[in-house]
Structure 1
Amino acid sequence: MSATFLGIDVGTTRTKAVLLAPDGVALLASAAAPTPQGEVGGVAVHSPQAIRDVVVDTARRALGEAGPEARAALGGIAVTSVGEEAVLLDAAARPVGDVPTWFSGVGQDAARELAAELDRRAPVTGLRHPEYTVHTLAWWSRARPVQARDAATLTDLGSWLLSSLGPGDLVMDHSHASRTGLFDAPTRSWRPEGLDVVGMGGLSLPRLVPSGTVVGELGAQVAEQFGVAPGVPLVSGGHDHFCGALAAGARSPGDLFISAGTSEAHLLVTDSLDPAATTGSEVGCFVTDGLFYLHAALPSGALYLSWTRLLGLDPATPLDDLLGDEPVGSGGVRGEISADRRLSLTDVPLDVRAATLLRALMETTAVASRDLTRHLSRTAGRAVVQRLLAGRPTESPAWREIRGAIGEGVAAFVDAQEATALGAAHLAVRAVTGTLPPPVPRRRPDPDVLPARREQYRLAFG
């Protein structure tokens, strides 16, 4: 049997492991478990050791399901994880404490207070999002001073997990580094002066590597737990959104990946970054060598959950059942999503139906997505070639029709089950074989919208 490859994804709520067949397409096995999360002093945290235990067990179960032949053929392992969560390590490379989650909000105050000084002393291309690691480090130095003093270095959660599986270098890949606020993407270099600004000047920053780099090999102890031989290559992964985009087929300049979840991430791949044009945009290195990304998000899923409950509807009910035969244009009801993530609706009649408001919400988020895509395209100076949409909403024919009719670029709906873990496995394949596997199949066909109905969309939304 030719080589198999293991991809591991440490997500916010679930940890997944998938074993990719030698053809780079078929899944031989998969396993999942809840990602352990705790709270310390009112702050949501992840325990690195607890997550490592779950990762090892989840990978062990996936390999066990695949059988002895597939285990014996294991040719590489890569890990992807949420991008902004950094593990502080002491001089012996041990975590000094739990890690505030990316959504904990602990860096919000520092983001406001230190923005000007960070820009002056450690300028980077693009904006520093409040969730970036550098702002969490400021919180760490103020709220956890003992841990901060004990820390000698840091890396992202996925890279630390990878290094804990066997002998290898402590590194950080470029895509994760792009979410720290201490890294300049066009030059692929650190801006360590930012550590002084946030009170963590004693830290050293890890060696930078591209995603898909062999950085070590599986140690004997973990190999025994996995039921495989030691020495399997350990490969640097990447940020979870970007690994998902890679698996879905976003691999060339002009490819746009939209991951529709609670937060609807928009990721545009490009081959260059103009520092002047991208001042107000989240930018960084993509997981494919030589390419960059522009990133932005909409609160589409969060708004849907809020409004279905507000209207007395069950958000678990299929969208098509909730919308019924509500016409294109929602009877003239229009909406807008503000910069502070609020939804406003206008021209709402007193006798409006819940289905009308819900369709107006779907059309409003589609228009907002189109406008956001146009903004990313203008900023990048790059036209959208294809629009890849993934996530649970793509199961709805009505959602696919609305998004197919309202948006930039040709729409394709991808079945991206466990796409992030698959993206990690794809990086492992490329690192070992030099070839990137094909993207996941587009199992859900693009919606077949009749010309007359498409004209209705054009008249209503341009």
Structure 2
Amino acid sequence: MSTAFLGIDVGTTRTKAVVLGSGDGALLAAAAAPTPQGEDDGIAVHSPAAVRAVALDVARRALSDAGPEARAGLGGIAVTSVGEEAVLLDGAGRPVGDVPTWFSGVGSAPAREHAAELDRRAPVTGLRHPEYTVHALAWWARSRPGATRAAATLTDLGSWLLSSLGPGDLVMDHSHASRTGLFDAPTRSWRAEALDVVGTGHLALPRLVPSGTVIGELGGDPAAELGIAAGIPLVSGGHDHFCGALAAGARSPGDLFVSAGTSEAHLLVTDCLDPAATAGSEVGCFVTDGLYYLHAALPSGALYLTWTGLLGLDPSAPLDDLIAGEPVGSRGVRGRISADRRLTLDGVPLDVAPATLLRALMETTAVASRELTRDLSRVAGRAVGQRLLGGRPAESATWREIRAAIGEGAAAFVDAQEATALGAAHLAVRAVTGRLPPPVPRRPGPELSPERRQEYGRALG
């Protein structure tokens, strides 16, 4: 009988592993390490072999801490990873080179160059973001032609890692495929013609599967590396943000997950995609099959880091200490964030205090989040039911109050520290047992009096 499940998350900065109990979904153990990152001609890259070594190390440590009963009763393994990074593989399934990171920018110029031809020859529902895999493939074809010619196929970084634990099929789950620019979400099908446009038409695309599909079993050598028995089911994972949303409790149409980090990701779950209405939006398949997502982001954390630096403040200091005593409305200082990610502040007095500006920034990003949520809701044709907010800012009582007062839908705050890896483990549980574990714990929300809500309404709408 399965007593535990392993979830692995290959993140941008950290690689995490968690062991989850199968009964109540309790976290039995967790381990983490920095995700190894290199550089190739000034381009940030991930080495598949180095990533695999670190992932297996953190998984081995988490399994060791979980104890012998959990190791003996391990029922499944799933992997989540950053979404747009594709590993190119030769005919023997070996990586042909290191992988440009999603933030490396290698796809920006190809995205502009190929946009019209991609839309003409291989249309997909929604936007093709410059970070999508298809644009990185154009970079491969131009900058690494020898490696590109040697490649026979590709998959996302997490699915490749899972396949390396096989035997099992080389696959890509629907949520990762949604971040390639080669996949049409409503029909759940590849648009392989796009490969010809970017000069990689010889590549075969992997088999598509829903997230949470058993695709193979743990092989003997990888089992020995992990210190567990062979034959454990290997389960397809999903894009890391979406696995985090699943673990947080975003599981039904109208659920909104806000992951507040350097980039504040907004993900709205919906049950339909209207190609006409969503033409200008980032859309795709959610990790719960049959559901879709709309996705957008704000540079909230990046603004915070920039402005604490400009104001001579310590960004690692507790936010509540930095803005203690500042009133709702920030003494009349107002801000707005433009579509091209520019911040404008109005009503700034000459003798403004750093705490006032920082409070104004918190209120500005909350208002921008509310407007972004309204846009997503309008495009989806779906009202926001619950708004789940997680990330380091949620540790601040002031931030929680601002977000509870300003936004669409009832706010709940989740402890999302390891939510991405937990989401992968949740998918493994569902694949093997047919049910999802409970969401991650929630932080206590602020109790806002009607008078306090009116104060926010008068100041910020």
TM-score (norm 2): 0.99
Work out the CA distance in 1 between the residues paired with 2:363 and 2:72. 50
Contact 1:156 1:176 in 2 (8 A): yes
Partner of 1:283: 283
Aligned counterparts, 1:197-276, within 5 A? 197-276=197-276
SS at match of 2:238: coil
SS at match of 1:431: helix
Partner of 1:14: 14
Aligned counterparts, 1:2-401, within 5 A? 2-401=2-401
Count of matched residue pairs: 461
Most deviating of 412-421 and 125-134: 412-421
Contact 1:18 1:27 in 2 (8 A): yes
Letter in 2 for 1:448: E
Cα root mean square deviation, aligned:
0.8
Work out the CA distance in 2 between the residues paired with 1:111 and 1:71. 46
SS at match of 2:277: coil
Letter in 1 for 2:460: F
SS at match of 1:274: coil
Deviations 1:22-73 (A, max 9, x none): 2242111111111000000110000001101111111111111112111000
Partner of 1:446: 445
Contact 1:388 1:414 in 2 (8 A): yes
Distance 1:240 1:24, change over 3 A: farther
Letter in 2 for 1:457: Y
Structure 1 residue 392: deviation in Å? 0.4
Letter in 2 for 1:447: P
Contact 1:48 1:99 in 2 (8 A): yes
Letter in 2 for 1:15: T
Contact 2:387 2:411 in 1 (8 A): yes
Partner of 2:423: 423
Q: Percent identity?
A: 81
Contact 1:159 1:172 in 2 (8 A): yes
SS at match of 2:400: helix
Partner of 2:455: 456
Work out the CA distance in 1 between the residues paired with 2:320 and 2:450. 21
Structure 1 residue 452: deviation in Å? 1.5
Work out the CA distance in 2 between the residues paired with 1:182 and 1:10. 22
Contact 1:24 1:426 in 2 (8 A): no
Letter in 1 for 2:80: T
Work out the CA distance in 2 between the residues paired with 1:211 and 1:293. 14
Most deviating of 285-294 and 319-328: 319-328
Runs of 4+ residues deviating >3 angstroms? none
The unaligned stretches of length 5 or more in structure 1 are: none
The unaligned stretches of length 5 or more in structure 2 are: none
SS at match of 2:9: strand
Deviations 1:317-350 (A, max 9, x none): 1111111111101111110111121111011111
Contact 2:22 2:429 in 1 (8 A): no
Deviations 1:221-271 (A, max 9, x none): 111122211000000000000000000000000000000000000000000
SS at match of 2:296: strand
Contact 2:3 2:23 in 1 (8 A): no
Letter in 1 for 2:288: T
SS at match of 1:59: helix
Work out the CA distance in 2 between the residues paired with 1:110 and 1:22. 45
